[in-house]
Structure 1
Amino acid sequence: MKKSIFRLFRFQGPISILYYLAFAGLLWYLIVPHTSIFYRTNLFDPFSVRINAEDIVLKKGEEFHIYLLRLNERVRYSSTDIKVADVSIFGTITAYRPGTTFIRIRFDGKERKCRIRVIDISHRKLTLSKGEGHRLYIKGPNGRVKWYSGNKKIATVSRFGKVRAHKKGSAVIYAKVNGKLLTCQVIVK
């Protein structure tokens, strides 16, 4: 019995190679579409129409140009929440206030979507007395925030955004979120 099983999987010339290629193709066609491999979004398809960015983080007031790759047709852009971010007829996205919105790109009866997350810092300028503290935070949907001070002798900041004034002068507090840098000018009197 064992010899007959091993004989089945033994290469015996070009016929058996074609058999294995056909068998692998059949597995790919019948089984893979029903697995998680098929539903992954990062599979590369060189012939499909794609957006240049599918998830964008913008600061309040910032602009970004969105477009479709491999398409030479007229497209229509629209925003699901124009108070957060709006898009022009040429694909220029402008961020207005913190929040999340989706940009829809319609072409030839099809649609692609791009998520826009707009962030801002709670205070752009802060005046503190010596020894006083104040908490800064990020408005809008954000991920991990990294806080640091430009001048630790004047003011320091904790990893939770708590600013502490030490002596007279001015310092810049930086918050780095998803590759974006937000700043707050701190003046200590």
Structure 2
Amino acid sequence: MTTRLIVASLTIAASVVFAEVEISPPESATQAEGLDAWSRIFDVASHPRCANCHTGPSDRPMWSGPTYGTTRPHGMNIQAGDSRMGVEYLQCSTCHTTKDTDWDNANLMPHAAPRVAMGWALAPVEADWFGKTSDEICAQLRDPDLNGGRDMLEIAEHLNHDLILHWAWNPGGGREPAPYSLQEHVDDILIWGVAGMPCPES
């Protein structure tokens, strides 16, 4: 089964940003193939471009990775609050402004706050996995109570339409991108799902 999804994100200025990912689950996948796919999924999920905003009830995004020096909470005492968007304190969009046009040049300046064509936010608190192990993140991602109630295809579709996730592979500003590509990551999610969502042993 192949579904080609073309997702349009409409902005306030009525401009459109397109992202296209092919969602094509394999007919079958062995447990070994699923575990190989999971190892690559973990490479992405644990990478700073993804993990820095997958934090817990502290509501503090993290700064980590080769361009940040020591691992530490986001500077300026930023807290995202229960909204995960900073509504209760200082909204994420105050600095992470919405970029409506000229997407290719949106994030060229080093150390500037990244921006995409949607509101910036932390992942839901249920998706807290910063600093967690491969088996811990795997158990979270396959648990509907912790992954937004999504099955394999819905996880892949979520990756396709969330432009903050797309930024991880094109972060600009000298930042290290997430490994592999968005398409390869979606493919690995599908292989892992068809294989039964196997997790590594602790």
**TM interval, short-chain normalised:** under 0.3
TM-score (norm 1): 0.20
Q: Which has the higher contact order (CA 8 A, sep 6+)?
A: 2
Q: Which has the higher strand share?
A: 1
